[in-house]
Amino acid sequence: MEKFQESMYQLIVETSTKLPKDVRRAIVRAKARENAGTRAAMALTTIAGNIKMADENVSPICQDTGLPTFKIKVPVGVNQIKMKEAIRNAIAQATKDGKLRPNSVDSLTGENSGDNLGDGVPVIKFEQWEKDYIDVRLILKGGGCENKNIQYSLPCELEGLGRAGRDLDGIRKCILHAVYQAQGQGCSAGFIGVGIGGDRSSGYELAKEQLFRSVDDINPNEELRQLEEYIMENANKLGIGTMGFGGETTLLGCKIGAMHRIPASFFVSVAYNCWAFRRLGVKINPETGDIQEWLYQEGEDVDFAKELEKAEEKASVNMGETREIVLEAPLTEEQVRQLKVGDVVRINGMMYTGRDAIHKYLMDHDAPVDLNGQIIYHCGPVMLKDEEGKWHVKAAGPTTSIREEPYQGDIMKKFGIRAVIGKGGMGAKTLAALKEHGGVYLNAIGGAAQYYADCIKSVEGVDLLEFGIPEAMWHLKVENFTAVVTMDSHGNSLHEDVEKSSLEKLAQFKEPVFK
């Protein structure tokens, strides 16, 4: 079991820090489809750079290392109780070493366990089989994409698509709608697993199980194979694009499975996964606990250093019409009013992290620091303290901003905050506050946790650490922190425009395709 624990630690670290080959190839194909000089091309280049940095630093690809979910097949006679104990020990060690962010929170008290352990965490699912080795697969699925999972009960009415019936065509409409509703909030371009049938819980389990399939595999069911191909071809016609910026690639992979159901229920469950598709597996010798083979390693690997060179060459030929503006924090209202949707900004100076707990706190309390003219970053970083007690940022990409919609506008006006950085955009209440107050929303590249960690030059302090590392207010000094203006102080929202445009495109798929 000691050796098995070491093997599980290796699996956790590798899954958190290095994307599998099939996912890397899918991202390269997406890069090749985009036109140079576009926001989508810039986002994909940043993603490529982030993957390369995570490889080199052996650090988390994304700061949200999600809920670890293990799917394990074991020979008869293997001690599953001891295996579970070894996995929990490996999870705790990986968290201590900064390879996982402490993500386990008590649902009643809000207290973070600090080691990624808790009731029901991590998720470990065992299955016996007749083979003579242990098959362990792990997926790290972050909260941003997990929140865009969706389940449909057929028949139903779908925005833009009309009625979806209890047939293959109704299923097709549900899947297209699932991609549409995710927009950029799930860190598109993404992958989806679809479960047809079952009950509400087994349907979602089947959907997530599809994410353990290889991106390049072929569905043995002919009807489902055709549906997968149809979705891959047509979902990318919605124009949502990388990060919801618009573009040629919205979906990187689609896998569909089906199971029986009871006559009264017909569920279509969709598990959405971001581009940072962290899923790996190993074959383990049950006698020794050693890793015999790594899974998801078929086919060609991708050298992202070369991909970045190609991207630079293309960008130098066609830089597009994007304005680049350097901002020094703190910001004035005059500076903010000059920014427009589509501008690329590069920020120097201070910014302060704030997620769910901070926003709730600020509604009823004074801020621990003067936030007038400052920038709030929706981010829950991975942090490590050195032997001298100094904090260091190990990963620091943006979290999904829409969760803060009930608070954001009021907090900006209350404290004089001029800019908010996150991913996926915000809603009408925040947009109105930006216009009234003179504020701006900046979309950072979701999942690019190494890229942004490199922009953070020092940790100047921390407040409200009692909320846990992801939810504390970190004081960060940054250089050349890049983001895109997607909501400005003039009432414009790129997110609103892309959603409206993609809804119009969704309507073209209203008529039946499958009989």
The pLDDT tens digits for 63-119 are 999 999 999 999 999 999 999 999 999 999 999 999 999 999 999 999 999 999 999
Q: Which residue has the higher pLDDT, 326 or 314?
A: 326
Q: Indicate the helix (H) or strand (E) that contains 372.
A: none
Write down the pLDDT at residue 318: 46
Write down the pLDDT at residue 35: 84
Torsion of CA 87, 89, 95, 99, to 10 degrees: -50
Q: Which residues contact 368 (CB under 8 A, 6 or more apart)?
A: 463, 464, 473
Question: How large a percentage of the chain has pLDDT more than 90?
Answer: 92
Q: Per-residue confidence at 477, pLDDT binned at 50, 70, 90?
A: very high
Write down the pLDDT at residue 319: 46
Q: Per-residue confidence at 316, pLDDT binned at 50, 70, 90?
A: very low
Q: Where are the beta strands (DSSP E) in 115-258?
A: 123-128, 134-141, 150-153, 156-158, 162-164, 190-196, 251-258
User: 478 in helix, strand or coil?
Assistant: strand
Pairing of strands 473-487, 440-443: antiparallel
Pairing of strands 150-153, 291-294: unpaired
Q: How far apart are CA 390 and CA 406, in angstroms?
A: 34
Q: What is the mean pLDDT of residues 320-331?
A: 86
Q: Which residues contact 60 (CB under 8 A, 6 or more apart)?
A: 16, 17, 54, 98, 99, 100, 101, 382, 394, 395, 449, 450
pLDDT beyond 60 at 15: yes
Write down the pLDDT at residue 36: 82
In 3D space, the residue among 191, 43, 34, 159 whose CA is nearest the CA of residue 494 turns out to be 43
Write down the pLDDT at residue 305: 78
Q: Work out the angle at residue 427's Cα, subtended by the Cα atoms of residues 253 and 235, and round it to the nearest 5 degrees.
A: 20
Q: How far apart are CA 271 and CA 73, in angstroms?
A: 22
Write down the pLDDT at residue 317: 44
Q: What is the mean pLDDT of residues 417-423?
A: 98
Q: Which residues contact 312 (CB under 8 A, 6 or more apart)?
A: none
Q: What is the mean pLDDT of residues 425-443?
A: 97
Q: How far apart are CA 399 and CA 201, in angstroms?
A: 26
Write down the pLDDT at residue 314: 55
Tokens of 160: 């833009």
Q: What is the mean pLDDT of residues 357-385?
A: 97
Neighbours of 35 (CB within 10 A): 12
Q: What is the mean pLDDT of residues 149-158?
A: 98
pLDDT beyond 80 at 137: yes
Q: How far apart are CA 486 and CA 441, in angstroms?
A: 6
Q: How far apart are CA 418 and CA 374, in angstroms?
A: 6
